[in-house]
Amino acid sequence: MYNIIYCSGGVCASEGFFADGVSAGLKKGGAKDMAFIYSENECEVASVFTTNKMCAAPIRHFKEMGDVKSNFIIINSKNANAMTGKAGIEDIKEVLSNSPKNAKNPIMSSTGVIGVRLPKAKIIEGMKLFDLSKRDSSNASKAIMTTDTFAKEISFNVKLDDGSSFNIGAIAKGAGMINPAMATMLCFITTDAKVSKAQMQEILDEVVKTTFNAISVDGDTSTNDTVLLLANARSGAYDKEAFKEALFKVMHFLALEMVRDGEGATKLVTYKVSGAKDDKEAEIAAKALSDSLLVKTALFGEDPNWGRIASTIGASGVEAYEEKLKISFDNLCVYDRGEILFDAEMEKKCAIIMQHQKFTISCDLGVGEGSFKAYGCDLGHEYVKINADYRT
């Protein structure tokens, strides 16, 4: 048995980890725009990256590093260093050659505008501001924000039956260009658990399926999506089941925070699909709902247009039948296996539900035992305003 307890500290909750954010002049007005995460001990590193074929230079550089341990990550905002070719990788090498002397196999991660070379001079000068003794996860989380409206961090202490314990914490950014198969998101997770790289990677790959890969803001998959999990083993403690649940708690919380902070979003919606032929078909249907622009705009207008939900499921390609489908808004069933329950009174009740910041749309396909939950938000005027002039 074990007990997972919320604690403060973010990426610095884990023993031996340090972090901070500084201003290197990449953002206007002196806002923090560069961050670091540092461990006194070298770490095993597990990773998951974007499925976008145009993956950014930092991801390509990391993969070129091979199977190495690291203790230092530098993150910059405002510039994605994507679509910059070999020059983008050479820029990273030059930046990292100026890393603090304690950095072992340093890693770089970037977010921001695509198709622009890194402002190397500013970043190198910015690194001179890093104080590796600082433990300010909050500053680091603020420095990596782009269109985010709030910083995102979380941490837990995990107490095991034998009296030992380990910590796990994370920071993340992401608010737009978010789509299942990861998002325009960066997530950095630290732990002092004594976990092997192989087991850490196995668990990360499994947990990402129901967390970051289950969310959608706008249906676009970024060039820079990155999850890095660093373990320095400082606690000497580990339990696989406890670690997996703690990692899920960290990633699930941050995934929902990204959807809640979706560009211009006003609602966080859970799409619960059950009764599918199998779990994969349930996933396909749920993600189709979270991606659908027609569904998203109906959410924004607080219009309980259940016909769009039925249509989206039908278009998703999964096995589904009009006479077996059941659709509910929270606990209110509007369509039950061929029977339309959506009268004027029901519409009023559903419209009230859609005024809430959080609610669930449930769809029982009545075909099998498959189930999956996806998460999405509405899409409105503010999203268009933000992305119409993102570069400026």
Task: Return the structure tokens found at 270.
Answer: 């859970």
3-state secondary structure 193-204: CCCCHHHHHHHH
- Fill in the DSSP letter of residue 49: E
- For residues 67 and 43, give the distance between their C-alpha atoms in angstroms, rounded to a whole number: 12
- Is residue 39 within 8 Å of 167, Cβ to Cβ? no
User: What CA–CA distance (Å, rounded) separates 164 from 232?
Assistant: 16
Catalytic one of 50, 84, 146, 184: 184
Structure tokens, 281 = 């078909």
Told to judge if 210 belongs to the known catalytic residues of this protein, a careful annotator would answer no
Q: Which residues of 151-188 are buried (b: 16+ CB within 10 A; e: fewer)?
A: bbbbbbbbbbeeeebbbbbbbbbbbbbbbbebbbbbbb
The CA–CA distances, whole Å, from 300 to 207, 235, 269 equal 30, 47, 11
Which residues make Cβ contacts (< 8 Å) with residue 275, sequence separation at least 6? 324, 326, 364, 365, 366, 367, 368, 369, 370, 371
- Closest Cα to residue 51, out of 254, 223, 229, 291? 223
Query: In whole angstroms, how large is the CA radius of gyration of the chain?
Result: 22
Which sequence positions are flagged as catalytic?
Answer: 184
